[in-house]
Amino acid sequence: MILLGLNSHHADSSACLVKDGVLLAAAEEERFRRIKHWAGFPSESIRYCLAEAGVRLGDVDVIALNQDASANLWRKLAYVATRRPDLSLVLDRVRNKRERVGVAEEIAHAFPGETLRAELREVEHHLAHLGSAYLVSPFEEAVAVSVDGFGDFASSAWGLGRGTRIEADDKIYFPHSLGVFYQALTQYLGFPNYGDEYKIMGLAPYGEPHFMGEMRQIVHLGDSGAFRLNLDYFRHHREKIAYEWSDGAPDFVDLYAPRLADLLGPARRAQEELTERHKDIARSVQGMYEEALFHLLNRLHERYQVDALTLAGGCAMNSVANGKVYRNTPFRKLYVQSAAGDAGGAIGAAFVVWHQMLGGRSEGRPLPNAETDRPGSGPPTNHSRFVMDQACWGPQFSNEAIGALLDAKKAEISAQACAVNRLENQAGLCSLAAEAIAEGKVVGWFQGRMEWGPRALGNRSILADPRRADMKDILNLKIKRRESFRPFAPSILREHVAEWFEIDDDVPFMMQVYPIRADKRVLIPAVTHVDGSGRLQTVTRATNPRYYALIEAFRALSGVPMVLNTSFNENEPVVCTPQEALDCFLRTKMDLLVMGNWAVERTQ
């Protein structure tokens, strides 16, 4: 049974391929189109997934789409009848649904001459989110929560996952949304682009929560754990908010209403200097989101009495809030997959449909035994089911292909005073990279299959020394060319986590921020946030042996079992191919590029 999961005609469009209940491939369209958050039909992602699995379009049995135009229909009709919004708002949403369900036509256009026999199955947006986390988690039972902007007329949903079953027990519907709240306040603070919310999360520690009283006028919390927006401060519920694609990139006009300036003062213009007031508002926005999230989670723990939690939806990308779950709720186990936002809905839709089609026959299968089974290594049997414990599901390239590229680009590489060498074994390669990092050099690290989700996790990474107090400024100014307040993350060997962090947990996807131990912060200033925390990524030998070996080599040199890790890009999607990696290396003046077994090193 072959299933193709799609997030189509939405930001971060993506595709995945699941065969007999096992994920074989997954990728976001932006990596192929080279436009951040690319929205539209993921034809190139589909093409890659089919090729990686060694199947043709005609072999696909089911296409699972992470939206259902018929979901919550009565809610939509009731809203139109009672609120009477701008007719253009209604018509625009209808047109958008039509574009999404035209999958067969899109495939026919993208794959001329191919036969399509697959059945199309639509999965309600938030059910796909719930499935994207719970159904690939290591938990046999967990509370599953989805929080985002909007999808299929809802902004949040939750339920209890057991075995291979997950359903949405309750939802929060349009127009109330924590995702809209965070996005609107991000725009108000002068960051207008889709996905800029992480900038507010990075700016927040520099401020104080002096505007919490105002935030509580914007977001109201209910006794049941739900929340409501004060709609006087928003526009999305009564008029058409332009959601357009500029060469495939999503683009919004402002979601906040003019009245917000009466409450918080004048909005910041893009490129305007960031003042203490702006930083305090950012801290308060983050604080309000956390207050609402933990209010909901605490009520859900009371309701379900289960200690494991899975989070999905765009808001689950808020790694700062995720890292406070244990501190602010009774939950004691947490799983957030690497593509928690809408891209991950492709995986969710595929696994929801897979388990629905099994008709419950896989119910009760035990999870893998860590000593005898490798999660995700084979089809579900009577002894295991798929668990996503690593994120490398994208394209990979052979040493021969990399060597051919370097040979073809020999003149360009020589012109920048770079030398090319091939290392025949992993130990020598990791030693070279570790020594460069220890010397304060910046290393481009391109290995194996590309990561799934927005985080570089050791296969498409830029690496540096976390001990260098000036490394954050060097990377932001000379390599990443981005705001100075933006932080960087540590990749740490799993067995050393408790020595360096005030937590001892698996965080493979860099989705949680935790406090660094007070006595260790001075040792790793480049990855320590201003509030003493770090966005943790744990690395194991089993899931990424080469990256583990590199960090172990750096530990042997420095005594520090971690490296600074940031995504291999420069204001563009993370690099996918060796060509893109080489271009970024030459363009940004990194010191060393390691691709497969090849090394390109600057000699001047």
Determine the distance from the C-alpha atom of residue 497 to the mean position of all C-alpha atoms in its chain, rounded to a whole number.
Answer: 22
Flag whether pLDDT at 386 surpasses 90: yes
In tens, the pLDDT along 490-506 reads 999 999 999 999 999 99
| CATH number assigned to the domain covering 2-134+337-358 | 3.30.420.40
The CA-atom distances, in angstroms, between 133 and each of 166, 366, 441, 465 are 10, 18, 37, 33
Per-residue pLDDT at 300 = 98
**Model pTM score:** 0.92
Per-residue pLDDT at 273 = 95
Determine the distance from the C-alpha atom of residue 12 to the mean position of all C-alpha atoms in its chain, rounded to a whole number.
Answer: 10
Question: Does the CA dihedral 204-207-209-214 come out positive or negative?
Answer: negative
What distance in Å separates the CA atoms of residue 117 and residue 103, rounded to the nearest whole number?
Answer: 13
Q: What are phi and psi of 245, to 5 degrees?
A: -110, 125
Per-residue pLDDT at 80 = 67
In tens, the pLDDT along 458-478 reads 999 999 999 999 998 889 877
How many CB atoms sit inside 10 A of residue 421's CB?
13
Domain ranges of the chain: 2-134+337-358, 141-335, 399-602
In tens, the pLDDT along 393-412 reads 999 999 999 999 999 999 99
What secondary structure letter does DSSP report for 450? Answer: P
Q: Residues 15-40: what's their mean pLDDT? A: 96
527 touches 510 (CB < 8 A): no
Tokens describing residue 214 = 């105002």
Q: Residues 328-348: what's their mean pLDDT? A: 98
CATH topology for the 141-335 domain: Nucleotidyltransferase; domain 5 (3.30.420)
Flag whether pLDDT at 573 surpasses 50: yes
What distance in Å separates the CA atoms of residue 382 and residue 118, rounded to the nearest whole number?
Answer: 27
Express as a percent the part of the chain with pLDDT over 70. 90
Per-residue pLDDT at 84 = 60
User: 399-602, which class in CATH?
Assistant: alpha beta
3-state secondary structure of 304: helix
Q: Residues 204-223: what's their mean pLDDT? A: 97
Q: Which residue has the tokens 């808020």?
A: 318
What is the pLDDT confidence band of residue 483, given thresholds at 50, 70 and 90?
confident
Q: Residues 105-126: what's their mean pLDDT? A: 94
Flag whether pLDDT at 93 surpasses 80: no
Q: Fold match between 141-335 and 399-602?
A: no
